[in-house]
């Protein structure tokens, strides 16, 4: 049975009385059937955040007119809002270097239909993983990067992303720091996996740092990429218990399992429009 088409509205605004009722009434008055509704008020900032999803079948406003029809009410309520539809799927690009575990996991989940996205290209600074990607029928493009070529190569990457009309970039252990010229073009649309439970052990070799400190838990963090390294709003995290018996290699092995799962969760949540960033945080309506 084909999956039904839905609309998703993401809202943030200063908290005020009647917000949930006003938005729900707009949908009800136009013959919409609400499937999911969730909201949160941040007590410190007084900010109201909401996700509401409804069926498009039988809805009286055509999808191409929906944004302009809702806009006057949004302006009256002083809403910051985004409107999304469950179809067509987002167009996704994956950036990867030499480590394959996150890439392979995403390729499998995509082929199994777990991710509501069209995977249009995989980009790398090395050719090592080309054959694995091409077996999945996905274009694999290599941009070798050195200090001298980084600016020009990133410009070529941007041109490629524009050509493929990419909506979401996933950094699946891409071992290059993206410059602002890329990050600023995709605000809250670049997801990175960091092999640490942020904000601890930022930067390189976090498992070695964790081993030196004798930690009892290691973690992985998926977050939106910003110009500040490993400092973007966090989407998903998880941890695994370790002990003094574990070597650095054990930590790396356990960490890879975490990285795969955490990145896949974050990508799914983003694609289903369940993540609402605000400030340096996110609300995840799962």
Number of domains in the chain: 2
pLDDT of 207 > 90? The answer is: no
Spatial neighbors of 141 by CB under 8 A, at least 6 apart, are: 121, 122, 123, 124, 160
196, pLDDT greater than 90 = no
Please report which confidence band the pLDDT of residue 198 belongs to, taking 50, 70 and 90 as the band edges.
low
Looking at residue 199, its pLDDT comes to 59
* 38 and 101 both lie in a single domain: no
- Considering the domain architecture, whether residues 98 and 66 belong to the same structural domain is answered as no
Owner of token pair 């983003």: 270
The answer to whether residues 198 and 255 belong to one domain is yes
Q: What pLDDT score was predicted for residue 44?
A: 92
- Indicate whether 65 and 200 sit together in one domain: no
Tell me the percentage of the chain whose pLDDT exceeds 90.
85
Which of 60, 85, 110 corresponds to the end of one domain?
A: 85
Mean pLDDT for 188-193 is 97
244-265 confidence digits (pLDDT tens): 899 989 988 999 999 999 999 9
Compute the CA torsion angle 208, 214, 220, 223 (nearest 10 deg): -80
Instruction: Identify whether residues 97 and 80 lie together within a single domain.
Output: no
Can you give the pLDDT at residue 50?
A: 99
C-alpha 121/C-alpha 99 separation (Å) is 17
- pLDDT at 2 > cutoff 90: no
Beta strands in the chain (DSSP E): 6-14, 34-42, 47-55, 80-85, 90-96, 117-124, 140-142, 168-171, 190-194, 217-224, 234-241, 275-278, 281-284
Give the span between the Cα atoms of 248 and 127, in whole angstroms. Answer: 27
Question: How does pLDDT run across 222-242, given as a tens digit for each residue?
Answer: 999 998 877 899 999 999 999
State the pLDDT at residue 230: 79
Render pLDDT for 91-119 as a digit per residue (tens, 0 to 9).
Answer: 999 999 999 999 999 999 999 999 999 99
pLDDT at 28: 98
Say yes or no to pLDDT of 201 above 70: no
Q: Single out the residue in 50, 85, 120 at which a domain terminates.
A: 85
- Among residues 85, 115, 136, the one where a domain terminates is 85
Q: Which of 279, 243, 227, 273 is nearest to 42 (CA)?
A: 279
Q: Are residues 179 and 273 in the same domain?
A: yes
46 within some domain: yes
Residues 79 and 96 in one domain: no
Are 223 and 274 in the same domain?
yes
- Containing domain of residue 74, as a range? 6-85
**pLDDT averaged over the chain?**
94
- Residue 254 maps to a domain: yes
Claim to verify: residue 54 and residue 108 sit in the same structural domain: no
Residue 119: CA count within 13 A, CB half-sphere:
25
Give tens-digit pLDDT for 133-175.
Answer: 999 999 999 999 999 999 999 999 999 999 999 999 999 999 9
* Sheet architecture: strand order including 6-14: 34-42, 47-55, 6-14, 80-85
CATH number of the domain to which 81 belongs? 3.30.70.260
Mean pLDDT of 209-226: 86
Q: Active-site residues: which are they?
A: 230
């Amino acid at each position: 049975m084909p999956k039904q088409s839905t609309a998703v509205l993401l809202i943030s605004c200063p908290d005020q009385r009647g917000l949930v009722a006003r938005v729900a009434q707009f949908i009800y008055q136009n013959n919409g059937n609400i499937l999911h509704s969730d909201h949160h008020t941040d007590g410190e900032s007084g900010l109201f955040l909401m996700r509401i999803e409804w069926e498009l079948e039988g809805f009286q406003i055509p999808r191409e007119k929906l944004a302009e029809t809702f806009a006057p009410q949004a302006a009256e309520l002083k809403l910051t809002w985004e409107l999304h539809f469950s179809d067509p799927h987002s167009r996704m690009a994956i950036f990867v270097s030499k480590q394959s575990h996150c890439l392979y996991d995403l390729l499998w989940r995509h082929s199994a239909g777990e991710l509501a996205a069209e995977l249009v290209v995989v980009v790398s600074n090395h050719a090592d993983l080309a054959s694995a990607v091409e077996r999945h029928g996905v274009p694999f493009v290599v941009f070798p990067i050195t200090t001298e070529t980084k600016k020009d190569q990133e410009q070529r990457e941007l041109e490629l992303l524009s050509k493929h009309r990419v909506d979401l970039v996933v950094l699946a252990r891409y071992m290059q720091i993206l410059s602002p010229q890329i990050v600023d073009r995709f605000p809250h649309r670049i997801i990175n996996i960091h092999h640490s439970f942020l904000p601890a052990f930022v930067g390189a070799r976090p498992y070695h740092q964790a081993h030196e400190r004798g930690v009892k838990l290691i973690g992985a963090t998926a977050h939106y990429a910003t110009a500040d390294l490993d400092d973007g709003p966090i989407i998903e995290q998880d941890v695994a218990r370790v002990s003094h018996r574990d070597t650095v290699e054990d930590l790396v092995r356990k960490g890879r399992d975490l990285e795969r799962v955490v990145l896949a969760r974050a990508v799914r949540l983003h694609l289903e429009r369940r993540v609402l960033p605000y400030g340096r945080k996110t609300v995840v309506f799962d």
